[in-house]
Amino acid sequence: MTDDREATSDETLCRRIAARDDAAFDVLVARYQARAYRLAWSLLRDVEDARDASQEAFIRIWEAAERFRGDARFSTWFYRILVNVCLDHKRRGRWWTRLVSRDTDREGDESLVERQPAPGPDPGDHASEAQTMARLWTAVHQLSAQQRAAVILYAQEHLSTAEIADVLKVAEPTVRVHLHRAVAALRKELAP
Amino acid sequence: MTAERRDDLTDAERDLLARVVAAAPPPPEPRWGEYRAELRARLDARRSIGSRLRRWWARPASIALSFAVATALLLFTLHPVERRPDFAALDEAMLGARLDLLEHYHLVERLDLLENFEVIRRLDDVVSREG
């Protein structure tokens, strides 16, 4: 049992990928595809970009597998590659796609606030919890790229601040500052 | 919450972040079979480009050619060809300025000759004597 788990641990699969084992690569992709795609989508908010960035991260894993030293967990290393690809993607931008609007992207880019039903006629009505959260989620996307990545890695992927620091290649106190600023921005959004 | 999550956040703040992220709309799910096929195609393309490049680089002639081109480019960048003055063009310009003299060259030649014989300087005397 332990041997089976060892045989299919991420780190073992990575070593096999370094030896150019296609089957190990397929297992790793199947294991991480949903997480990678979801994280890329959370950072990029675009279906095509998320697909492209997450696939690019897998290709880089294939190319760089022999450089994985095993000092950190494989997942941390993978997140680092993926987040870097996403941040690069965001920096470069895709100006030509912005010129041509796509239906799918329009749906993906539309903020949740815009998708909420119009508020009722009574001005005294409080926004529902869902609406408030949607507004806050939109606020998360107005944070800087690194702050947003820190929030998503923390709250969505449940990484520790040390792991986030490792992924973002910043000091751990910087991650804490990112999280504090994010919370401050959200509190400001919540204020009446 | 694990002990290693040293984040200085209060429980309420952690809860806020968790609720915000949980409220995020789920991403439109791709068809995973297609996703993996596309990834496999991209990987194969990258591998074939990589292997072609490696094969190309493995040839001594390719390496020599690359270094030669790189050296030529480097030399050209560091030592651009000096721009020397165009003497032919200068000569032409000077000749152009003296075009009148050239047109009456035979006269100039004679005047030079007469000057040598000091005829021009004594021209007044010659005229008065004749007069």
Residue A119: its pLDDT value, please? Answer: 42
Q: A122-150, pLDDT tens digit by residue? A: 444 445 777 777 788 888 888 888 899 99
The answer to whether A183 and B17 have CB atoms below 8 angstroms apart is yes
Query: Is residue A73 pLDDT above 50, yes or no?
Result: yes
* ipTM for the whole predicted complex goes beyond 0.85: no
Q: Is B24 on the interface with A (CB under 8 A)?
A: yes
At residue B126 the predicted structure's pLDDT band, cuts being 50, 70 and 90, is: low
Closest to B21 (Cα-Cα) out of A174, A182, A88, A117: A182
Q: How far is B58 from chain A (nearest CA, A)?
A: 19
How far is Cα A167 from Cα A183, in angstroms, rounded to an integer? 20
At residue B13 the predicted structure's pLDDT band, cuts being 50, 70 and 90, is: confident
Q: B71-123, pLDDT tens digit by residue? A: 888 887 777 665 666 777 877 777 777 777 777 777 777 777 777 766 666 76
- pTM of the predicted structure, to 2 decimals: 0.63
Q: How far is B47 from chain A (nearest CA, A)?
A: 9
Q: Give the mean pLDDT of B31-52.
A: 89
CB B24 to CB A130 under 8 A? Answer: no
List of chain B residues whose C-beta atoms are within 8 Å of the C-beta of residue A108: 27-28
Secondary structure of chain A in HEC code, one letter for each residue: CHHHHHHCCHHHHHHHHHCCCHHHHHHHHHHHHHHHHHHHHHHHCCHHHHHHHHHHHHHHHHHHHHHCCCCCCHHHHHHHHHHHHHHHHHHHCCHHHHHCCCHHHHHHHCCHHHHCCCCCCCCCCCCCHHHHHHHHHHHHCCCCHHHHHHHHHHHCCCCCHHHHHHHHCCCHHHHHHHHHHHHHHHHHHHCC
